[in-house]
Amino acid sequence: KNQVEQSPQSLIILEGKNCTLQCNYTVSPFSNLRWYKQDTGRGPVSLTIMTFSENTKSNGRYTATLDADTKQSSLHITASQLSDSASYICVVSPSNDYKLSFGAGTTVTVRA
């Protein structure tokens, strides 16, 4: 069964600090992995996408890594801002299949 597990479930950090979110998956065959950001009351918005051959992808202060061998990904937030407070969802896409596998998300709270 295709599964995506994220950790931690939630975290609180002070503004300006860094944090790292983890994602482990068992989806096979693998096509790509995306990190989505979901603000409260909004729909998820894609931050990064990585395919099998990519190890790192950055989008501003967000940096995602992928280890396809161990089936692990991480999302690193640098110099956090209050606007980074949101839920971050790891989404894995299998090859030749429209059914995405969603993680439960990590809720990040940035405090001043």
Partner 1 sequence: DAGVIQSPRHEVTEMGQEVTLRCKPISGHNSLFWYRQTMMRGLELLIYFNNNVPIDDSGMPEDRFSAKMPNASFSTLKIQPSEPRDSAVYFCASSTQTASYEQYFGPGTRLTVT
Pick 6 or 80: Cβ nearer partner 1: 6
Q: Which residue, 98 or 112, is less far from partner 1 as judged by CB?
A: 98
Residue 43: CB minimum distance to partner 1, A: 3
By beta-carbon proximity to partner 1, the closer residue of 73 and 80 is 73
Cβ-contact 8, 25 below 8 angstroms = no
In angstroms, the CA 82 to CA 104 distance is 22
Footprint of partner 1 on this chain (CB under 8 A)? Answer: 31-32, 34, 41-46, 49, 89, 93-100, 102-105
CB of 100 to partner 1, least distance (A): 7
- Max alpha carbon distance in the chain (Å)? 44
- List 90's β-bridge partners, or say none: 35
- 46: Cβ–Cβ under 8 A, 6 or more apart, which residues? 34, 35, 36
Give the nearest distance from C-beta 97 to partner 1 in angstroms. Answer: 6
